[in-house]
Structure 1
Amino acid sequence: MIKRVFLIVLDSCGIGELPDAAQYGDVGSNTLKSCSASSKFSTPNMAKLGLFNIDGVDFCKPEPRPTGCFGKLAEKSRGKDTTIGHWEIAGIVSEKPLPTYPNGFPKEVLDEFEKRTGRKVLCNKPYSGTEVIKDYGKEAIETGALIVYTSADSVFQIAAHEDYVPVEKLYEYCRIAREILTGDHSVGRVIARPFTGEWPYVRTSNRHDFSLEPYGVTTLDSLKKAGYDTVSVGKIVDIFAGRGITDFVRIKNNTDGMDKTIDIAKNKDFNGLCFVNLVDFDMVYGHRNDVDGYANALTEFDVRLGQLQKVMRDGDVVMITADHGCDPATPSTDHSREYIPFLAFGTDVKSGVNIGVRSCFSDINATVLDIFGVKNEGAGESFLEEIRK
């Protein structure tokens, strides 16, 4: 009987362009394929589970006898960002994309933000997070202004030097922005982007996301309501605005995230879902077009996955997936519209089952709820009977 599910999201590890990729400028994107070409790429544990047996994966040798279940899922929502991707995994299909601001935020939004924070705004355009502090950091320190910028995603990002704007004060400014950004301006995330040091400055690990609250019932909501535990590792608690979560741990990076997941698997008695997000794939490597860095991060995850396998108990299931793509080998530094992979294994899971190509990320939601016998109030169709022993 399954008691604990570990759902691990390799943030941005897409597995090939979706049929509508052209609408998003993402024809040819394949994040995993790009990483597999690097000499830093080695994922024997995921290969053994069936990663390279997934339909359409023709760039690595398939496993003759995969030990896990495997497949891929298409995104039904209109978008390709973290919020929409995770929400769809959790049962919410977004028919309308979240607002983006290729020309910066409108005057009425920034006027209200400046009025309520008492600080002026610099930049107000799409920008690289590392370049924006290099270009505007000195002026921000000299004038006391806040650096506000966005990207191709639905985000309102605020950068400030920790020595001049303490982290908690920056978080307060983010909460103000979150209150302002409603209605037509309901961006997916307001993100605190603190930096430190001398020019050209470095970003710190004190990033914090202030997300839009999900507008439908999620896997987490349903499980918590039914009395099950829901444990967040990493920024899951932020993506879902804290809703439906009974416990959470924050992490510094992918390695720390997997170490804490392994510790939970080894030492925490719970009955329900441990939902994990590993963001470095996307934030540190994908957006910076660092193919070798991304490939090496997948290699390091695979090592930790082997350690997780050793501490798993009877009744545990591990599911590995993604939320979108971010192909580090394409000229774009933005997310890409891709299929996401799916791997599952555990004592109660069959070996060698190909679930094929699923039409919606939310099939994961339906399957997790089915495991615990909880009614699905969201989207998705369960494939539990295909994979359960």
Structure 2
Amino acid sequence: MSFERIILIIIDACGVGALPDAADYGDAGSATIPHTAESAGGLNLPNCQKLGLGNIIEIEGVPPADAPIGCFGKMASQSAGKDSISGHWEICGLALGKPLPTYPHGFPLSLVTEFERRSGVATIGNVTASGTEIIERLGREHMETGALILYTSADSVWQMAAHEDIYSLERQYELCRISRQLLSGEHSVGRVIARPFIGTPGKFTRTTGRRDFSLVPPSDTLLDSMTKQGLGIKAIGKTWDLFAQRGFSSHVKTYNNAEGVEAIADFIEKDTQHEMAFANLVDFDMLWGHRRDVQGFAAGLEAFDQDLGKLLPLLHEDDLLIITADHGCDPTYIKHTDHTREYVPLLIYGRHAKSGVNLGTRATFADVACTIGDIFKVEHKYIGQSFLQDIL
């Protein structure tokens, strides 16, 4: 017997140890969850533990389960890079051969000038910066001149911050569309992001009006294949944006882990229209990883584990739960504040799935796509190997 529904949860940035080529990315020795546990004096994750998290790698406070109720393993990335887009795309069967472009010294002047010409709007900034820091530094000038705050990060992103009293949300989104159209070829950044804020100098606050305009996948992913076969997929959180809104039947916008878990629970309990929920829990990356907030990251992991304990009993007889991540973002890693290139955990649970199976070290994140494709008998040519027969 196989499965009727898949609940695929990405615990964003929750890596479990450096990949062999991590040094090439400046990430030698990174290990997000293990280092967080060590720095926090141990983690209390009883539900992840019983699924087999502690059987994957040594994690302080999370010993190996003698009889895990789930299947467990870890996965390596075959994509170049270490960002959200490449991680999620590979999970859905598409590996990138070269990393998406980044701009540690700001964007080329010719690119910025062309954006200003097309949009009729001046820009300030054009630096790598924290979003909260740059609006405090340039927010007053933005409000006085109307110039957009343009900045990037260690990720492949073109970000524009603007006060909602100066540019309406719709105007900010229009400017993002202009940028998205401009950023092609060698400048095909992963995401163009609107970063609206409100308030007064010294008291600026980013709002929930953020919107991501992602690069379109260059070829079909698992989502496209399932959709073409008439299978329904619900996006929960930023998965909707990471695939340029392609391949989904519907979506639920969420702003934090709590809202994401609530949407997942609602799907499990009530949804009869979709064969898969594809959820991303973003706080690990957005709130704690990049900010190198070890205690916040540890508390977030323990909160997720408590939520997991509430989700597991809700699963239907024919549901399959898959928990993994898209990259690392080790909050103890002080050489930079970027993502870290790591293995990601793989935890599988379902009432019709075997328990205690060690799925080993998978060669690619795309093994998830191959497995889900096999469950729904979707024709595909993804890289990787299905582990369906291992868990049945």
TM-score by length of 2: 0.96
User: 1:204 maps to what in 2?
Assistant: 207
**Aligned residue among 368, 385, 391 for 1:387:** 391
Q: CA deviation at 1:41?
A: 3.5
Q: CA deviation at 1:322?
A: 0.3
**Aligned residue among 170, 173, 182 for 1:171:** 173
RMSD over equivalenced CA pairs, Å? 1.2
User: 1:236 maps to what in 2?
Assistant: 239
Are 1:117 and 2:119 matched, yes or no? yes
Q: Which moved more, 1:130-139 or 1:266-275?
A: 266-275
- Per the alignment, in what secondary structure is the counterpart of residue 200 of structure 2? coil
Are 1:367 and 2:371 matched, yes or no? yes
User: 2:255 maps to what in 1?
Assistant: 252
Q: CA deviation at 1:205?
A: 2.1
- Per the alignment, in what secondary structure is the counterpart of residue 6 of structure 1? strand
Give the letter for the 2:19 counterpart. L
Structure-to-structure mapping, 1:202-351, within 5 angstroms = 202-331=205-334, 332-351=336-355
Whole-Å separation in 1 of the counterparts to 2:118 and 2:42: 48
Gaps of 5+ in 2: none
Identity %: 50
Moved beyond 4 Å, runs of 4+: none
Per-residue CA deviation, residues 86-105 of structure 1 (Å, 9 max, x unaligned), is 11111111111111111211
Structure-to-structure mapping, 1:49-198, within 5 angstroms = 49-54=51-56, 56-57=57-58, 59=60, 60-198=62-200
Per-residue CA deviation, residues 344-376 of structure 1 (Å, 9 max, x unaligned), is 101111110010001101011101111111112
Q: CA deviation at 1:284?
A: 0.8
Whole-Å separation in 2 of the counterparts to 1:263 and 1:219: 23
Distance 1:190 1:40, change over 3 A: farther
Contact 1:40 1:296 in 2 (8 A): no
Give the letter for the 1:377 counterpart. K
Whole-Å separation in 2 of the counterparts to 1:245 and 1:271: 10
Whole-Å separation in 2 of the counterparts to 1:110 and 1:361: 35
Whole-Å separation in 2 of the counterparts to 1:188 and 1:146: 20
User: 2:21 maps to what in 1?
Assistant: 20
Contact 2:234 2:274 in 1 (8 A): no
Distance 1:198 1:301, change over 3 A: same
Gaps of 5+ in 1: none
User: 1:5 maps to what in 2?
Assistant: 6
Per-residue CA deviation, residues 68-123 of structure 1 (Å, 9 max, x unaligned), is 00000001111000011111111111111111111211122111211222211111
Contact 1:316 1:347 in 2 (8 A): yes
Whole-Å separation in 2 of the counterparts to 1:228 and 1:187: 30
Q: CA deviation at 1:145?
A: 0.6
